[in-house]
Amino acid sequence: MRLSRYFLPVMKETPSEAQIVSHRLMLRAGMIKQSSAGIYSWLPMGFKVLKKIETIVHDEQMRAGHIPMLMPTLQPADLWKESGRYDDYGKEMLRISDRHGRDMLYGPTNEEMVTDIFRSHVNSYKDLPLTLYHIQWKFRDEVRPRFGVMRGREFYMKDGYNFDLSKEDALHAYNRHLVSYLRSYERMGLQAIPMRADGGPIGGDYTHEFLVLAETGESEVFYDSDVTDLSFGDREIDYDSVEQCQGVLEEFTTKYARTDETHDEAAFNAIPEERRRSARGIEVGQIFYFGTKYSEALGAKVQGPDGKPTPVHMGSHGIGVSRLLGAIIEASHDDKGIIWPEGVTPFHCGIVNLKQGDEQADGACDQLYAALTAAGLEPLYDDRKERAGGKFATMDLIGLPWRITVGPRGLKNGVVELTSRRSGESVELSPEEAVKKII
């Protein structure tokens, strides 16, 4: 992409309404524009990162054997009346009525709707196990929408639902989700720690939230510092293997790590003092086994091997796709701007032409652009007639992992400058070598 033809409305001033760094940087880098409280337009670069995150989530869900689909944002109230949640959900639910006076709502989540789909089409245990998911906009009329996309009212969420014959099978689905979530966050360059969370009125041990440690996080967390040494890495996993998935769950959830809702002072104090940590975190996902709560309420039963109708065991599993942009920036920035992890960066490399209009410099930039594109990468070429200082500031703000600086003086010696955004280190290389380093 040539910057002169792109739409990247960066701001020089720090917007006063933004209280935390990720919100400030998303506004300054021209990624989002607020339309009303907690509702945003995704400008081209924000949209690009959102899609990258979405792609990683899809990829890892499908790898785990979960099936993508798409349910609507608007739902009939009837289903929620059937489950009993229409009244319980309270003011967070945006209620709408259509021209015929029918009660509708903008979905805050999809347990009811997916269970309705399931009960309409699945009758036999032979069709299980089944996990369906979608990535769709949600609406929750939060009391205090704030921190930009971190706590929006309209937000983008992946939510998946497993249907299983037994609790045991449903817990295997739970474990598959845990593994696929660990992989997803790591691909985004994030450490998200699974922490024992509160099952709410249904209770039980079977819910974990994934938290990214950050001072600006809204959750209070307590953990054994050993958990921050864990990483899934690039190991192979057989998602059909109950033992392997259970093994990962044990590895990642045995050490103490809890949110304040389930915090247990005595268990925490049993950890050696130097490993006890209390901190703040951003909830970027949650997995939940809730048994037959919705299948009983909505009559989602299958014929079991014994021929008897059996309510299915379910769980729901969510990832805050749009919140992740904020979380990634909170975890990866400096005083100049964003530092995108490779896995989600909107462009792989910036090209800065120090002397736009100079035949040699323009030619070298065009060649670099073509070589990077041919290698399957997306460069962002700043081809505007601007001062070098302004171009550098923009590149630092938008945080691409690499910058190649091209100017007549270097070209005289056959070199360009390659700079790593993360380390700030620069080296002079031939254009060919610079491309090789990036790919």
Quick one: which of 157, 212, 248, 257 contacts ligand ATP (CB under 6 A)? 157
- Of 112 and 283, which CB lies nearer to Mg ion in the complex structure? 283
Judged by CB under 5 A, the stretch of 28-36, 286-294, 301-309, 376-384 that binds Mg ion is: 286-294
CA 414 to the chain's CA centroid = 42
Contact 332, 60 (CB under 8 A): no
Shortest distance, CB of residue 318 to ligand ATP, whole angstroms? Answer: 3
Complex with ligand ATP: residue 112 or 283, whichever CB lies closer: 283
DSSP 162-215: EEESSHHHHHHHHHHHHHHHHHHHHHTT---EEEE---GGG--S-EEEEEEE-T
Instruction: Find, among 366, 347, 378, 342, the residue nearest to 416 by Cα.
Output: 366
Q: Determine how many CB atoms are found less than 10 A away from the CB of residue 169.
A: 18
Partners of residue 208 on adjacent β-strands? 196, 287
Among 34, 75, 162, 286, binds Mg ion (CB under 5 A): 286
430 has which bridge partners? none
By CB under 6 A, name the one of 64, 135, 178, 284 that touches ligand ATP.
284
Q: Given the complex with Mg ion, which of 137 and 239 has the nearer CB atom? A: 137
155 binds ligand ATP (CB under 6 A): yes
Binding mask 244-283 for ligand ATP (x = CB under 6 A): ---------------------------------------x
**Binding range to Mg ion, per CB under 5 A, among 104-112, 178-186, 284-292, 405-413:** 284-292
Q: Does 160 participate in binding ligand ATP (rule CB under 6 A)?
A: no
147 neighbors 21 (Cβ within 8 angstroms): no
Q: Smallest gap, in angstroms, from Cβ of residue 178 to ligand ATP? A: 14
Q: Which of residues 91-130 bind ligand ATP (CB under 6 A)?
A: 109
C-alpha dihedral, 138 to 139 to 143 to 144, nearest 10°: 60
Q: Count of H helices and E strands in the chain?
A: 14, 23
Stretch that binds ligand ATP, among 220-228, 255-263, 296-304, 316-324 (CB under 6 A): 316-324
Q: ∠ CA 274-333-370 to the nearest 5 degrees?
A: 135
Q: Residue 403 binds which entry of Mg ion, ligand ATP, none, with Cβ cut-offs from 5 to 8 Å by kind?
A: none
212 interacts with, out of Mg ion, ligand ATP, none, CB within 5 to 8 A per kind: none
Q: Is 322 in the site for ligand ATP (CB under 6 A)?
A: yes
Q: Is 10 helix (H, G, I), strand (E, B) or coil?
A: coil
| Residue facing Mg ion at closest CB distance | 286
Q: Is 52 in the site for ligand ATP (CB under 6 A)?
A: no
User: Which residue, 66 or 151, is less far from ligand ATP as judged by CB?
Assistant: 151
Amino acid (one-letter) located at 331: A
Query: Which listed residue (46, 217, 285, 350) binds ligand ATP by CB under 6 A?
Result: 285
Q: Which is nearer to Mg ion, 276 or 280 (CB)?
A: 280
| CB-count burial class (<10 Å; 0-12, 13-18, 19+) for 28 | buried
Q: Rounded distance, CA 119 to CA 142, Å?
A: 31
* Distance separating alpha carbons of residues 368 and 360, to the nearest angstrom: 12
Q: How far is the CB of 270 from ligand ATP (least distance, A)?
A: 27
Under rule CB under 6 A, residue 398 binds ligand ATP = no
Give me 263's structure tokens: 């915090």
133, 181 Cβ separation under 8 angstroms: no
Question: How many residues in the shown chain lie near ligand ATP by CB under 6 A?
Answer: 15
Q: Which among ligand ATP, Mg ion, none contacts residue 300 (Cβ within 5 to 8 A by kind)?
A: none
Positions that interact with ligand ATP (CB under 6 A): 109, 140, 142, 151-152, 155, 157, 283-286, 318, 320, 322-323
Positions that interact with Mg ion (CB under 5 A): 283, 286
